[in-house]
Structure formats: structure tokens, C-alpha cells
Amino acid sequence: MKRFFVVLVCVLCAGVAGTRPDAAGANESGSYTAFAAGKYLTALELAQEEAEAGSKEAYTLMGEIYKDGLGVAQDYGKAADAYAKGADLGDPNAQFSLGLLVVQGRGVRKDPRIAGNLFEQAAKAGNPAAQYNLALLYLSGQGRTANETKAAEWMEKSANAGNPQAQYDLGAFYQFGRGVPIDQKKAAGWTGKAAEAGLPAAEVEYATMLFKGQGIEKDEKRAAKLFMLAAEKGNPVAQNRLARLYANGVGFEPDSVKAAKWHLLARTAGVSDFALDVMLAKLSKEQRVEAERLVDGWETGRLTYDAPAEEAPAQKLPAQKLPAQELPAQELPAPAPNP
């Protein structure tokens, strides 16, 4: 499944790495050490002292504390003020975080153009999340004149820096020719990197590519394992595909009960499938009860793994074959118009 988020608030709230202080920062100052230990008030006090001494990172930490309300009341205004001071001193994390607040209008006036300027400053300094979000601005035409070529350039920078979401979206650029020539091999390569990083949507898309031999050598067994990984993470499309694989005995031993389990989970999440509904209706009472037991077990975390075909137990309940159905990739929506 390939898609881009053209509603910036949704994108910027999820799917990208933020500026949460990490172990590296904790080794650099007392404020970061306190933050890493969960002593947020102490971290804030120390950060204020360090900021007064000229530490740009300290301002960024203060912004993080106020933004998330860690040990203090959440205050986007104070967060924006702290980030702004860190940004003025040249901290890329502060520039990026302030850009997030500006594009959402939290604690400051909403202004995609100014947010784009902040993202660009941080992006040029090598911040992968800023590079990713700058690419989205160019793609959607919000805060930047729509330019798919520039969107692809910044997306690739973020992808090369190891951002899984950027790798996944860059795969879509190559798959559908957005800002770059269509190249199915590169599309599969970048999607595969995102899948290896554990991004469920990428696992589904890469599994589809493997299943169809699109840009990569066909490998149904490997595809089945990726569908399993994504399904276990709760991806309803993967759950639907996995149900079909079990029903048809592709990649796994045919098993109507496990097919029913994954179909029920997918259907509950909104992915319908008439052919699987027909299969479900033909199950015996005992098979239906067992399938529902597996669903309950999965939902409560007691049963979270179905063995691949080579590890499957010898005793199998009979499966009912379904008509073949292609596993489609979903197309990109058109970018939003320039405001």
C-alpha cells in the first residue's frame, strides 16, 4: 500500500522521528542526564541554567518538556518560545520541532510557509525528519510551491539517512513516477528497506511485490512471512492477505480455521472480503468456535504466532479454496492544491 499524507497536521503528528532527547544527549549535560532518568523537573531547572550559559540544546530540551507536559503543565506557548531560542542559536532539532508547532498552529500562529523555512534549515543541517517533512510540503504544495522533483530529492535524503517512512514513500515515488522516472527495481529496493526496518505498511507492500515479482524476483514464501509479520502487528490489509494465503494453501499449509481467524480480525478492522465470508459460512460449528478462540487469544496477546508451512503440525483441518485474487498496490492520491 502506497500513500502520502497531504494533510500536514496528520503527517507531522505521526510517522516521523522527533527530537526526544536520547542517550547521546544524556551524556552531554546534567539536564539530559536527569531527563533520561525521568527527573523532568530537575532536568528543566538544569536546562534553564545551561540555556543561560548559551546552550542551544538546553533550549530544545526545555521545549520538549513543555510540549509534552513532562513534570509540568503542558504549554505549547512556552514550548514554542524555548524552541525558537534554540532555533535562533542554530540547533536543527529546535528548528524542526518549532516547525511542527508552526505548521499545526500550536502555541504560535499557523503558517506553513514559515514552517517550511524552519524545516529547510534543519533539513540542510541533516535532520532526517525535517528532510521528510520538507518533502511532504513540496509534494502537497503547502508552504512551498508544489514541486515533485524537489519532493523526491528531499525524500531521498531522508531515506538515505535511514528514515523508514521516507524509504517507504520514496519507493512510491519510483513506483508511480512522482518526481522521478518510474523504476520498479528501485521501488522494490526502497520499499524493502522500509520493510526490513519493521514498518507494517511497507511489509505489506513489499510482500505484494514479492508475490507478484514486481521489481524483484518472485518469492511467495518470503511474501507470506512478511504478510504474517504485518498481520501480527495489527495491519488489517495484511490480515486479509494472510487469510487468503491460508485459505488457498499458498506459503502455508491450507488451514480454514486460521484463514477464518485472520479474516475475522481483518473484517472487524474494516477490510471486507466476500469470498472469505463464503468460506466462513461453510465452516463447521467446531471450526468456527476454534477460529473465534484464536481471535480471542490473539486479541489478548496469548496466541501471537502461526507457524510457517515447514514448521506446521501434521494434523490440519481441511481448507476451502478461494478464487484467485490479485494483491493490488494502492495508488497515490493527487497532491493537495497550493493554498
Grid cell 507470506 — which residue? 224
Which residues lie below 8 Å from residue 63, measured CB to CB, with a gap of 6+?
A: 78, 79, 80, 81, 82, 83, 86, 94, 97, 98
CA–CA dist 274, 263 (Å, integer): 10
- Say what the pTM is: 0.81
Which DSSP string do the residues of 180-218 spell out, in sequence order?
Answer: S---HHHHHHHHHHHHHTT-HHHHHHHHHHHHHTSSS--
Digit-by-digit pLDDT tens for the chain (339 residues) are 455 543 333 344 333 445 555 544 545 689 999 999 999 999 999 999 999 999 999 999 999 999 999 999 999 999 999 999 999 999 999 999 999 999 999 999 999 999 999 999 999 999 999 999 999 999 999 999 999 999 999 999 999 999 999 999 999 999 999 999 999 999 999 999 999 999 999 999 999 999 999 999 999 999 999 999 999 999 999 999 999 999 999 999 999 999 999 999 999 999 999 999 999 999 999 999 999 999 999 988 744 445 444 333 333 333 333 433 333 333 333 333 333
User: Do residues 260 and 279 touch, judged by C-beta distance below 8 A?
Assistant: yes
What are the chain's domains? Answer: 8-196 (1.25.40.10), 200-311 (1.25.40.10)
Which residues lie below 8 Å from residue 47, measured CB to CB, with a gap of 6+?
A: 31, 55, 58, 59, 61, 62, 65
